[in-house]
Amino acid sequence: MKVLHIGDVVGAAGGQFLMDHLPAIKREHQIDMTIVNGENSAQGNGITKHSMEQIFTAGADVITTGNHCFKRREALSIYENPTVLRPANYPDGCAGHGVCTVDFGPWQAAVLNLSGTAYLDPLDNPFTIVEQLLEEIETPNIFVDFHAEATAEKKAMGYFLAGRVTAVVGTHTHVQTADETILAGHTGYLTVVGMTGPEESILGVAVQPAMDRFRFHFPTRFTEAEGSCFCNGVIITFDQKCGKCTKIERLILR
């Protein structure tokens, strides 16, 4: 079986590019399940009902998010959908949920969304929370979207879950890393899957305002970059009987 995990969709252009290309990517690579990180899919980041529908229409089975999950007020109703996740380590009682199981008949797959806490919001400890959640998940096919800033925290999560989940894929920093590997002979790992949106940009944002903020240290209004888009993803091939990743390959579509 194959799971495709697509990196953070940025803005309207990223959503449109996904709609235009995801069906063909899924066909070409014979993808069984698709996970898309959608936390920047609304204009100006966050997720809206419209951007959620765009991602599902494109062909996602599960949408994951991250630190911008509650950026939009309407997001509260979005998380009533069982296949739209916010990080599981938000406090108890918070709207939404961080894990879901998708039933494919003869096999199931769980998707688990976590946020790092290094240089991000001080949420519950993701290592403690994932340990608790793993006890409740019944399928061996477990796919983790770890939305984190620090490379070291993402590496630590990879090794922490090695041998216990099918894949750990990092999101949030938008620049795809080239370190895909299989940990403990079982767990597919990639530090950052990348992004889907305008390529000539600073993480999807127009170059000039993002650059000016660094140069002059005054607040600038970020705008969406224009120009041609690309899509970054990773394909995880696995044995659905035991949850073991047998192959991991990065994907960049321009």
**Binding-site ranges for Fe ion (CB under 5 A):** 66-67, 172
Alpha helices in 59-205 (DSSP H): 75-78, 126-136, 151-161
Instruction: Give the nearer residue to Fe ion in terms of CB position, either 66 or 140.
Output: 66
Instruction: Give the nearer residue to Fe ion in terms of CB position, either 156 or 203.
Output: 203
CB of 134 to Fe ion, least distance (A): 24
CB of 69 to Fe ion, least distance (A): 9
List the one residue out of 53, 31, 13 whose CA is nearest residue 233.
Answer: 31
Instruction: Give the nearer residue to Fe ion in terms of CB position, either 67 or 201.
Output: 67
Q: Write down the catalytic residue from 5, 21, 50, 68.
A: 68
Whether the CB-CB separation of 6 and 231 falls below 8 Å is answered with yes
Q: Give the C-alpha separation, 186 to 33, whole Å.
A: 19
**Tell me, what amino acid is at 137?**
I
Length of the chain: 254
Alpha carbon of residue 242 to chain centroid? 23
> Is 68 among the catalytic positions?
yes
Whether the CB-CB separation of 180 and 190 falls below 8 Å is answered with yes
Q: Give the C-alpha separation, 52 to 241, whole Å.
A: 31
Instruction: Give the nearer residue to Fe ion in terms of CB position, either 54 or 67.
Output: 67
**In 3-state terms, what secondary structure has residue 183?**
strand
Beta-sheet pairing, 99-103 with 62-64:
unpaired
CB of 67 to Fe ion, least distance (A): 5
What is the set of active-site residues?
Answer: 68
